[in-house]
Amino acid sequence: MANHLTYKDNTFRVGDSVQVHQLVREGDKERLQIFEGILIAVRGRGQDQSFTVRKIAAGAIGVERIWPVHTPKVVAIKLKRTGVAHRAKLYYLRTRKGKTATRLKERTEKPAPPVKAVVKKPAVKKSPPKKISPKKPAPKKVSKTKKK
């Protein structure tokens, strides 16, 4: 399941609060309409990818809109706030009321651990290995026992 989308080199994840700038045509005129809400679902891949954004409108009414990612009507998608989501689809937000329907815990990126400086030790010249000569056989011991 897809839980992120890439739009013009920006990556958005499910749970992020986004602004979608949509081109609206009314008669001969064109204008930008901004839809701001939580990215609750991403489906498909490639040219078929689409995403769903949910917002709470006036009167505590939830409004969801679905856009294809590669449509010319979407002019821009801006990230307002990152959110923590442990699911690929946040459909459970539909049953929530008030702030809990619009707020997710904010995602904080963990800072990278500090890089330890690597100090190179000066090279120590090693003497060439000593040549080891083959062992000479030990001299035979003569026993000095008396024969009877």
pTM score of the predicted model: 0.63
- Which residues lie below 8 Å from residue 15, measured CB to CB, with a gap of 6+? 38, 39, 82, 83, 84, 85, 90, 104, 107
What is the per-residue pLDDT for 139? Answer: 72
Residue 62 confidence class, pLDDT cut points 50, 70, 90 = confident
Structure tokens at 118: 């690597």
Structural domains present in the chain: 4-94 (2.30.30.790)
Mean pLDDT of 23-30: 92
> Contact at 8 Å (CB) between 62 and 54?
yes
What is the average pLDDT score of the chain? Answer: 79
3-state SS assignment for residue 95: helix
Q: Who has greater pLDDT, 55 or 112?
A: 55
Mean pLDDT of 81-102: 75
